[in-house]
Amino acid sequence: MAPSKTKSPKPSTSAPKKEKLFHPSSRKADQLARKALRKGKLGNLASKRGQKQNSLVDVYGFFYHALPEEGVLTLPELHSVVNEIWLTRFDDELEQERAARRKGRPKSVKESKLEEIKLRESDEYRSGMEVIDLTHPANVEVFRLWDQKEVAYMQLLRFIRITSTDPDLVVVSRPGRHVSIIGAPQPARQEDEQMEGVEKS
C-alpha cells in the first residue's frame, strides 16, 4: 500500500496590512501632528523639570552637609558657609580652565559658564540670598530627617534671606510648614532684626 501524501499548508494569500495614510491637509493628519507636538513638549518639560529638581537637590544637599554634628550654626557661621565654601566651590575648576587657555585664546565654554555662575550667585548674595535656616533649632532637627532626594520635603522647612551687605540682617522668606517649626519660638536675634528690617524699609 502506497504511503499517503501529506498536504503541505497553502501559503497565505492575504496581503500584509497596509499602514493607514492620511492626506497632509486632512483633519486626521492635523490631529496626529498636534498629538506628536504635545507629546514632545511634555517630554521636554519633564526633562527640564527633572534637571531643575536635580539642581535643587544639589543645592539643598550642600547645606545638608553643612549641618554641624550637634546643635545649630550661628549667623556668622552661616555667612561663612555661603561666602567661603558655596561661592568658591568652582574656583579650582575655574583656575584650571584659565591655566589651560593659551595666551590670546578666547575663553572656553566651561570657563565662561563658571564665571557666569559665580557672578550670578555673588550678586544674589549681595542683594539677598534665600537659604535654609540653619540657625533655628527646630528647623535643623527637621532638616536632619531629609532623605537627600525628595525636593518637596523642603516645603516643610523654614527659609531665611541673608545678604553680604548687611550680615546682621535676617528676613524670614518662608516660615516652614512642619508643626514643630510653626510652634517653635524664633531666636530673639532674628525677631529683633526682622523689626530692624521693617524700620529700614
Residue 45's pLDDT is: 45
Mean pLDDT (the chain, rounded): 80
Per-residue pLDDT tens digits for 110-134: 999 999 999 999 999 999 999 999 9
Residue 184's pLDDT is: 74
Spacing of C-alpha 199 from chain mean position: 34
Percent of the chain with pLDDT over 70: 65
d(C-alpha 130, C-alpha 152), whole Å? 17
Per-residue pLDDT tens digits for 169-193: 999 999 999 999 987 777 655 544 4
DSSP secondary structure of 8-46: PPPPP-PPPPPPP---TTSHHHHHHHHHHHHHHHHHHHH
d(C-alpha 44, C-alpha 46), whole Å? 5
d(C-alpha 76, C-alpha 112), whole Å? 31
pLDDT (mean) for 84-89: 94
pLDDT category of residue 24 using cuts at 50, 70 and 90:
low
pTM value is: 0.66
Bigger pLDDT: 27 vs 59: 59
The end-to-end CA distance of the chain, in Å, is: 114
* Cβ proximity of 167 and 129 under 8 Å: no
Residue 104's pLDDT is: 84
**Rounded to a whole number, what is the largest CA-CA distance in the chain?**
117
d(C-alpha 180, C-alpha 199), whole Å? 29
pLDDT category of residue 3 using cuts at 50, 70 and 90:
low
Grid coordinates representing 136 are: 533655628
d(C-alpha 117, C-alpha 122), whole Å? 8
Residue 95's pLDDT is: 93
